[in-house]
Amino acid sequence: MLFDVIVRLLAAIGLTLITNAKGITTTSVVVSICIFLFMEVSLLFKNKYIYICLTAIPFLYTEIALAKWSESASPSKYLMMWAVVILAGLTGVALVLYSRMTHYQEMLNKTKDDSRELENVLENKNRRLMMEQDQQVHLATLAERNRIAREIHDNVGHLLSRAILLLGAITTVNKDETLEPQLKMLADTLDESMAKMRSSVHDLHDDSIDLKKNFEEIIGELKNFTVNTDLDLDEAIPTNIKLSLIGILKEAVTNILKHSNGDTVSIIMQQNYSFWTLSITDNGTVPEETKRKLQTDDYEGIGLNNISNRARSIGGDAYFYTDEGFTVYARLPFGGKN
């Protein structure tokens, strides 16, 4: 923009000098002012044709004014006319080159913006792909843990059980008292092996609980409701907390499907400094009798009792609110009871 202004200013100065070549008069001063105005005002118009016309008018006027000089064959007149033509040509070339440079600069900036946008799109896609791959690896890991747990339970557990039964039979028919200590030691070893095997299988199975998948399956049952979720899901949550959260959500959703006459459900799970909170709210109406029972903890519903028991079993609490619809709110501590 500044380059354009400077070129036009120089062209206007050149035309002004040519216009006032025969002497400064009132007319020449007015014409000079008009030349400056036409040259600079043309910058305000975006239309290409108006832009060109306003730029060309000062040159055409100066050329016509020179042609009407009284000295019809004066060399200075022709020299001035050629000067106007050359000045117009130089101005046109400068403006065209500047216009092309500006166009290429805009194209370059657009290319950079498009490249940056494509780069951001690719980064987002790569990020989503990595998250999907991590999720697939996680699910594959959980499936493999389940498979190993089943293999241990079905094969090793079966063999240990058979060994314990055979040892019991041998102990029953044994008449040699000197073998009793050894048989007792063997029985204790097999019992300890069975206990450790069961504990390992239990741990493998518990670690394979996918909290996100379970939440999605339960929430998917609310097909006739508009569901809003804000879930801070962390797979590092201890197993007992996972099971309680899943159980509480399942009971609350079942209660909504059975009793709610609303159409919207809000599910929020957050992780705080020392506890997890889970709230499930529907916008259905609650009978006055139910409100009264909830205020006095005199509710008899199996589902609500299950929710309270699940929360209390690991050192947490469960509350029920009826201010706007019906809300189940559970707070479970990090170090919940096992």
- Look at residue 46 in the predicted model and tell me its pLDDT: 64
Instruction: List alpha helices for the chain, DSSP H.
Output: 2-19, 26-41, 48-67, 75-151, 157-173, 180-207, 211-219, 239-259, 288-295, 302-313
Q: State how far the Cα of 104 lies from the Cα of 287, in Å rounded to an integer.
A: 71
Q: Using alpha carbons, select from 4, 92, 69 the residue that is nearest to residue 41.
A: 4
Q: List Cβ neighbours of 9 (8 Å cut-off, separation of 6 or more).
A: 39, 40
- Phi first, then psi: what are they for 318, rounded to 5°? -130, 140
Question: Tens-of-pLDDT digits for all 338 residues of the chain?
Answer: 566 666 666 666 776 766 666 666 566 666 666 766 666 666 665 666 666 676 777 777 676 666 666 555 556 666 666 776 776 766 766 667 667 777 777 888 888 888 888 888 888 887 776 666 655 655 666 666 667 767 776 777 777 787 888 878 887 777 777 777 887 888 888 788 777 777 666 655 555 567 788 888 889 999 889 999 998 876 667 777 888 888 899 889 988 988 888 899 999 998 887 888 999 999 988 887 777 777 766 666 667 888 888 888 888 999 888 877 899 999 998 765 55
* CATH 3.30.565.10, applies to 211-333: yes
Burial (Cβ within 10 Å: 0-12, 13-18, ≥19) of residue 148: middle
Question: By the 8 A CB rule, do 163 and 190 touch?
Answer: yes
**Token reading at 9:** 């200013």
* Domain segments of the chain as ranges: 2-109, 133-207, 211-333
